[in-house]
Structure 1
Amino acid sequence: MNRIAQGIVLVLLGAAALSCTVVSDLYLNYVQSAFRPFLAAAGVVLLVLGVVAIAVDLRSARTPDPAAEPGHDHAGHAAAGHDGHGHGAPRVAWLLLLPVIAVFVVSPPALGAYTASGAASGPPRESAASLDDLDEEEWGDPSRPREMELQEFVMRAWTDQERTMAGRTVRLTGFVVPNPEGEGWYLARLQMACCAADAIVNRVLITDEPEPPKDSWWRVDGTWVEPEGDIQAIRDHRFSVSEMVEVENPPDPYE
């Protein structure tokens, strides 16, 4: 692979990074929104380096070849090329272009039901101390559902020993995950601290509604099924549905 080819790879990598961050929100499938300026800056750097590499090689190609000058040692030049010093990387290096092209042709989707079904649910990452009290003023109109992120709902269900969420109507949005154990299905959302590689699942178990298609997104109104005994000993908290509406996939699928 000569310098022009290397420059093309850098240009394509830079263009891929810019297309995922500036042109679209595709980067949200892999990292948090805070990383957008860093990814865009990296794309610009790769693009500039690639253009510079191509320009330098093209300029070198226009300069006279020393081998054509009188008195040049053609045998030594040929020997240098023959022993490998005059050659670039092997042709297999062109395979480096495949993942770059794949970004443009096949955009990897965000993590979904496959990841969530294999992940074990557990206590949330954040501290319960960061949550507001669910008094009447904070809750708002009791006749209208309060919209919560799934991570907030799960955190309250696991940590609120006063059970102040009991009997209150909540609105959750997430995607459908089949229950491998066969009882009901999960409404889930993935939460990441940095990137998709460290994502954990927040989910609630729904048993009073038929299971929708896997990975479809739904807005669900209902109430927490208050468990008996220690709330922190519950593996998956249940949610009783009063109304559910299918919605479009959100631009940012993570919480």
Structure 2
Amino acid sequence: MTAEPPATDSSLPRDRPGGHGDHRPAAAGERVGPLGGLLLLVVGVTCLRLAQTGAYTSYVRGEMRIPLFATGALVALLGLVALASYVRSGGRAESGEHPDEHEHEHEHGHGRGFGGAPRVALLLVLPVAVVYLVGPPALGAFSASRAAVSVPPPRPVPFTPLSAGADGTVTVALDEAVERAYGGDTLSGHTLRLTGFVVDPDGRKLILTRFVIRCCAADAEPAAITLTLPANVSVPDENTWVTVEARWAGDAPPDGRPGFMASSLEVIEPPADPYET
């Protein structure tokens, strides 16, 4: 006796591409959607642009150029792949064309926005728009005047002695000058060349400042000294970048800003890499 095949209910939905019964993985373009692919492409191109123009140094360390190039290229490539996959799939995205997907969207699609992209991905538009429309500069006097300055912690090993160049000066990073002022008598008798921007000029005094970053501008901390100018030197405006020749005044005050006496001051253009590391 031959067994009859089980009866089927014609009212049940049949499996078809893109339906609930189709368990094939969705293509990248369907998962991300056209807007998601476009966002990835724009973010990747923005990273490449920042790395190519050097504007990235306003936000991260100078040696991050190669990683930024690589990241931008990878993200842009992912965006292109997503867009190409979306086109090949015939324009099916998460918000697709199948009538039974409305119910599926109620189950799984609440996090999706326009064009099939996750709503949270739309936030990527904000930093991109800021970079292109505003182009925020590196941290300057406004941020420095509101940042806390502290005495540097003791060094585990003493500083090496300074050695003057042919012109009798020693070029020193501003944060190193601050650390040396609190870390022993290694500055006495030396004329230092220091570079930074002007904060709070008042009479013959100003605060010479430069931000130090470990990774990016988000963790920046100011290194600052109190600089006294001679009578024959004009006091520059706030936020002006300068290079000074100065000698340590021999003090190490509790506010974290050692005093220096300037002998010369030169106004300069903002450096390509505004941060010390």
* SS of aligned partner of 1:176: strand
User: Offset of 1:35 from its aligned partner?
Assistant: 2.6
Give 1:95 shift: 6.2
* TM-score, structure 1 as length reference: 0.78
Label 1:120 to 1:83 Cα distance change in 2 as closer, same or farther (>3 A). closer
User: By how many angstroms is 1:247 displaced?
Assistant: 0.5
Give TM-score, length-normalised by structure 2: 0.72
Do the aligned partners of 2:174 and 2:210 also contact (CA within 8 Å) in 1? yes
Which one of the candidate residues 132, 142, 164 is aligned to 1:139?
164
Q: What SS does the aligned partner of 1:97 have?
A: helix
Distance 1:234 1:54, change over 3 A: closer
Residue number in structure 2 paired with 1:173: 195
Q: Distance in 2 between matches of 1:235 and 1:84?
A: 58
Identical amino acids, percent of aligned pairs: 33
CA RMSD between the two structures: 3.2
Q: 1:176 to 1:79 in 2, by over 3 A?
A: same
Structure 1 moving runs of 4+ over 4 Å = 82-88, 90-96
Tell me the CA shift for residue 31 of structure 1: 1.5
Q: Which residue of 2 is the match for residue 69 of structure 1?
A: none
Q: Please list the CA deviations of residues 70-120 of structure 1 after superposition, one character each: whole Å capped at 9, or x if unmatched.
A: xxxx9xx54644884698514895564343233233222111111211222
Instruction: Determine if the alignment matches structure 1 residue 226 to structure 2 residue 250.
Output: yes
1:39 maps to 2:68 = yes
Letter in 1 for 2:45: A
The whole-number CA distance in structure 2 between the counterparts of 1:178 and 1:89 is 48
- Judge which range, 9-18 or 80-89, deviates more: 80-89
1:251 shift after superposition: 0.7
Match of 1:153 in 2: 177
- Residues 95/159 of structure 1: CA separation in 2 closer, same or farther (3 Å cut): closer
User: Kindly tell me: are residues 214 and 233 of structure 1, through their superposed partners in 2, closer, same or farther at Cα, counting changes over 3 Å?
Assistant: closer
- Structure 2: unaligned runs, 5 residues or longer: 1-30
Higher mean displacement: 120-129 or 12-21:
120-129
**1:94-105 residue pairs with structure 2 within 5 A?**
96-105=124-133
Q: Is residue 4 of structure 1 aligned with residue 34 of structure 2? A: yes
Give the secondary-structure state (helix, strand or coil) at the position aligned to 2:143: helix
Letter in 1 for 2:53: S
> Can you list the C-alpha shifts for 1:30-66, whole angstroms capped at 9, x where unaligned?
1112333322222111111100110011112279xxx
1:1-255 → structure 2 map (5 Å cutoff) = 3-21=33-51, 23-61=52-90, 77-78=98-99, 80-81=101-102, 84=105, 89-90=113-114, 93=119, 96-124=124-152, 127=155, 129=157, 131-134=159-162, 138-141=163-166, 144-160=168-184, 163-178=185-200, 184-208=205-229, 211-227=235-251, 231=252, 233=254, 235-255=256-276
Larger helix fraction of residues = 1
* Conservation of the 8 A alpha-carbon contact between 1:177 and 1:186: yes
Bigger Rg, structure 1 or 2: 2
Gaps of 5+ in 1: 64-73
3-state SS, counterpart of residue 118 of structure 1:
coil
- Aligned to 1:61, the other structure's residue is in SS state coil
Distance in 2 separating the partners of 1:153 and 1:190:
13
CA gap of 1:55–1:164, structure 2 versus 1, over 3 A, is: closer
